[in-house]
Amino acid sequence: MNLLGARPRAGLPALIRDYEPTDEPSWLRCRVLGFLATNYYDDVWQEKRRTDLELVALDGGEVVGLLDVSVPGPDATVDNVVVHPDHRGRGIATALLEEALRRLERARVQTLDAWTREDRPALAWYARHGFAEAERYLHVYASADEVGTVVTARHGLRPARAFLHARIEREAEMRQRFERVHVCRRLVRPVTR
């Protein structure tokens, strides 16, 4: 039995539970390795940021999946959902989402949203779980060579790189000017169906 009160399905971790501070080193490893092959490969943290709902999936005491949700009111946002690459395809992210949805429903949260980029596996997973695209815009990364074409600074400062937002209508132009451009999508689903 796990903390969800049911026997885990074949291949699922033995335990899904609330995050504990002692999970941090394992949580950070899971997040870094999970994002490494995605468009978020450079979104590296040195410490965990706190959210309202923090779940982990454990296998042998190690975090192999995580889901963090901010709940500022009747609408909540997925801040992180990651599965360690060695444990993908076992239903871990789905089990974490199902537990989060149960808790959000009890808290009377109405909608859950998430922001992601063009990663096809992530987009497919969200679609399978009832999320639909609600809006989009561009994330533009200006490299050291590109930043001078868009950003100027005062006081003797010289920008080395820049992370910028742009309207989706300018996608073709941005892709011509910058090497790294991502479509950022807001996906939304009701908490209860």
Domains and CATH numbers, the chain: 1-109 (3.40.630.30), 114-193 (no CATH)
Each residue's pLDDT tens digit, 31-87: 999 999 898 988 999 999 999 999 999 998 999 999 999 999 999 999 999 999 999
Distance CA 6, CA 4 (A): 6
- Provide the pLDDT for residue 30: 97
Question: What's 176's DSSP letter?
Answer: H
The three-state DSSP-derived secondary structure of 54-91 is EEEEEECCEEEEEEEEECCCCEEEEEEEEECHHHCCCC
23's enclosing H/E stretch is none
Each residue's pLDDT tens digit, 88-108: 999 999 999 999 999 999 999
Close Cβ partners of 120 (under 8 Å, ≥ 6 residues apart) = none
pTM of the entire predicted model:
0.88
Per-residue pLDDT at 11 exceeds 50: yes
Of the spans 9-13, 35-39, 45-49, 152-156, which averages the highest pLDDT?
Answer: 45-49
